[in-house]
Structure 1
Amino acid sequence: MRAVRPARALLAGTMFLAGLVGCATGGDGGYLVPDATREDGGGSDGTDTAGCPPGQLRCDGVCVDPLSHPQHCGGCGFACPAGQLCSAGVCVTSCPPPLVACGGSCVDPQTNADHCGSCGHACPGAVNADGACEGGACVTRCRPGWADVDGLPGCEYECDFGSSTESCNGADDDCDGAIDESFACAIGEPVSCTTSCGSTGTGNCTITCEPPNGPGCTPPVETCDGTDQDCDTVCDNGFGCCRGQVGACTTSLGAPGSRTCGSDCTWGACTASGEACNGTDDDGDGLCDEDFECCLGSTGACSTTCSTTGTRSCSTTCSWGTCSPPPETCNGTDDNCNGLCDDGVGECCRGASGPCSTSCGTTGTRSCSASCTWGICTPPAEICNGTDDNCNGVCDEGYPCCARASLACTTSCGTPGTQLCSDACTAGSCCAAAETCGNGCDDNCNGSIDEGCSTGNDACGSATALTLAAGRTTVTGTTAGATSDESCGSSAPDVWYRFTLTQTEVVSLNTYGSAYDTRLAIRAGSCAAASTNCIDDSCGTLQSEIVATLAPGTYYVAVDGFSTASGAFTLNIEHVPAGNDGLARLLAAGSSTVTGTTSGTGVVDGSCRSGSAPEHLYYWTQCPSSAGGSFTATTCGGVTWDSTIYLRSGATGTDLACNDDSPDCGYPASSITAAIPSGFGLFGYYVDGFSSYSGAYTSSVTRP
């Protein structure tokens, strides 16, 4: 919006345009007069408001507010009784909030001009203006028909308000102190305008309140700005050149160039506009033919098609020619781009590796040296192939054996054999060329034991004699290749052993540890006797066990097989002597009480006593799976004579425990404790007497 000029400033312009707009000279035409007070137009009290602020009456020649004046409460002459106040034109005994009592009146100190802010603080008036109270502070308000346009106290501009809308007529229609303020300019006012050449000139506002643009606008004086300001069609005339203009020129070296008009409208330096392809520095910048690829006749480095550095020449058109590769050198690269590395400069491409033949005929590797000659041939690492790859004289070292080689070995039967190394350098089965007879083993890995061999104890008549030692007697052999002599419910091959007893004993014969399903049989006295105790499976195994009380004499034992089974076997024999009564009593597992009466002359001595006292035997056997355990026995409270008790092992033939006088109850009783080992075995518990003592007994026993 334009800056509005006050009416006073436009007085001269208004006089100038009086003939155009027809301004009258009578009445308030908007002209300024000095601040002055109009004469009161008169009128009677009580009804006259002339010269009084709005809302007041003239009473007794004085302007009063009938809403609060105690002498004129509600109208002139209506005085409030003594002690009462005037509030809203009514006499009251107290002022309602927010009104306060001031001089018999109920007033609002925020708006009452006689008591503005506090009682008795009256707001003064000014020329053509009355005092007023706004927000508890004094202000002045112009009387009707007057306006304040200079900001000084009083209202000096007399104006008859004609319209709230301003017209383009050079007059202040809305009495706001400004003329034609709703338009671009006021008629006759000097304003800026746009000339016919687009520059900014000056002129007077037209009768249509518009700037006089175009021919009516006076152009400004020309300045150096790169435009035509004075509308004479010449840019920056009067200066050396038009600012920013570019023009042709000739350099100091005679080359065509260009120059630019500077900000002060003077020409700048002449710069060569281009270079010719002639091998010369035309523009004097120290560069030859710089507007082209290269300087005519020069040479330079380039990258060949095989990424080496070659050379090229600048042609007559100042463009580079073909890149020529360099000659080949020994550097591990194809320099001359013929597809071959280091060709013609040595044996090989520097740094390359290649196959070669080693001294042991394998294929090794070699490397090309810095002089493009081959280095030594390095043998390959050893692999499993039946060959000495690394030329150290050893085949397939690092592997179990040399592939496909035949190796000497010892068979599982303990006999010399051979084994073949597989293609994976793992040794095969070790097998003998032929069977070794009598070892109960398959030497030649054909699945048969001692095939083709004759057995010396194949028949009962050629039974092998065994001398029973004090402990366990063990023999091994095989029934493979033997004939079947002992029926025993099968047709399997069998072999024979014999032994002789000099006293009655409990004997345990078993084949625990054998490799096939065995059977056992015994013949007493001679081979012609019938077989007794023909046993197949024992202790839940496929092996056999016979436990029998045998009288003095010779016995023949057949190691046989179930059905037609044969193979390697182990024969175990344990024995303990019976008591002097020739009896052997089976001792139950767990805790039990045994009783009896010994008499006669004894045949067994314990390790803790010797003498001729008689004894009784209690025995039991254990299976291979037995875990063993603790054995205890006592005659405490069970004898009246000097007893001795002991426990004997058939495996060792010795006593595991022996006692005469009990450590628990003392003489004459006895007590023992022993640890029973795991596994199979025969055990004998003896109730005996010290020296020659004997008699009735009761013994408490616990066994596994």
Structure 2
Amino acid sequence: MARLAKLFRAALALSVVLVACSIDRTGTGAGESGGSGGTGGTTPCPAGLTKCGDVCVDTTYNQLHCGACDNACPETQLCAGGSCVTKCFGGSIQCGSSCVDPDIDPTNCGGCGKACASGLVCSAGQCQLACTGGTSQCGSKCVDTLSDGKNCGACDHACAPGTVCSAGQCALTCSGGTTQCGSKCVDTQTDPANCGLCDHACATGTVCSTGQCQLSCGGGSTQCGSKCVDTATDPLNCGACGTQCSANLVCQAGGCVLSCVGGTTKCGSKCVDTQTDPANCGGCGTQCPSGQVCQAGSCALSCVGGTTKCGTKCADTQTDPANCGACGNACASGEVCSGGSCTLSCAPPTTNCAGTCTNTSFDPNNCGGCGTVCALPNATEGCLGGSCTVAACDSGTGNCNDVASDGCEAVFATDPDNCGGCGNACAAGVCLAGQCTTSVSYDLAAQNLTTAGIAGFGCPPVQAYSSSATGPTWGFSWDDVLPASAVVSKITIEIERSSDCNDGFGAEPTTLNGASAGSVTFSPAVCNGCSTTPATFMLDLTPNTGDYVLGGQNTLLFTLTGPNFEAITENSAWGAGAYARVTLELL
């Protein structure tokens, strides 16, 4: 066996030398030198290939440069997917001593040794003039830039080690219901190279449908190449195989549109029903475990509510045009499913909404008319008599005014009229965390300030502001916790210390809305000593009425603009100390 292997490698190396090809895909490492003097070494490689020495190689399947230049696989292993393995996987096949992908390899297109003529590309195992099935030409290969780690989003845009290509973006994990298989994100429900699970390839002549290798596509899907796709939602095969939607469009009901309708949600470039889609159950990217279905936006072991399990979906065989009367019984184009039969029109009281017979009196996705989706704030929507209703409120909210149009308008954590529950009004102050209060404090963490030493006074380093003539160095806002109706009656700022005060200066003038508001004294002990005893001053204010300035010497030290408190220093010779706490007292 070892003798045969050595003879095979010798013959293969000789054949490559005779061909004298400058592009090495098979792993022998042979190729043209590029002419006398090695000038060919500077010639760039075609897209998808890597320069190893003077040779352009495909490191995905190259035996001598597997995954990277000079990373040779042992005699007993093969190179597949950029890794040394004992057998080919992921839809690749063994041709000679290398693993190749017969779907895209122009030298082994559809099978070993079937090379495409010059000017042609290999797409879906056929030599063609152009790439099909939503793939893009990168060099002489047709690749899926949505999942190819070497051509992610565009040719030659390789993802970094440890990341994958998901929906054309390099990411740490796969999204949109896809699964990481090697360095790719694939749909194991339809991928014939990873059908049901990674590296489970379907035999020649079969397709992958709902995670199973089958002779034909089921569940209303259509065979496009070697994949089963839903032409109603697939942006690469929208309405028909090979019809690709542009980047800013999604595929809805077999047409490329700007946004999703009929109660569907845009997940990636697809419009999906998150109530029934097992790859996006309840929300984009939430995938149900194997063996479960998506029912009413939740993963379940079986279907309820009169629906039937068809593949991985719960379908209403009375109205579903892809499973009309029984799973996989798809209605013809232009027909609808009514009462479990394919007809040209819907039976009363239902209406044809995008191919589905729908009772618009009770369907929250078509409430009162097709495409009228109930979307109420903080609520689970219902539909009654063609009008949107509140079926349930999100946790921490309530429909306290019994008006459906504004949903569950009361947020118990902050609503002063419904603090902690409907009807619990705060007599004074505001509602914070579901409790009525008249005071709120902010601790200013050290990481919000700039660390700096103090020169000339021998004090240990403290938190000090950096000089800035253009804007604040730090600040905080109470917009996120105080309602717009709140009135702040007093602000108390506790100062830990001040530094670089020029031996201390007495009373510093303070202005409030441009008018005098008394003064604040920084004593020498606070300014030049190393005391950490806080000095406290208070400033009366009403928010949202202008700028409030507390001035000192030749700098703007504090500025309060609307609800935002900011510290500003304009003179590098003047620095302020750390501030421990700011307390707001409310009316």
Same fold, TM-score > 0.5, yes or no: no
For the superposition of Structure 1 and Structure 2, which TM-score range results when normalised by the shorter chain? under 0.3
TM-score, L = length of structure 1: 0.18
TM-score, L = length of structure 2: 0.21
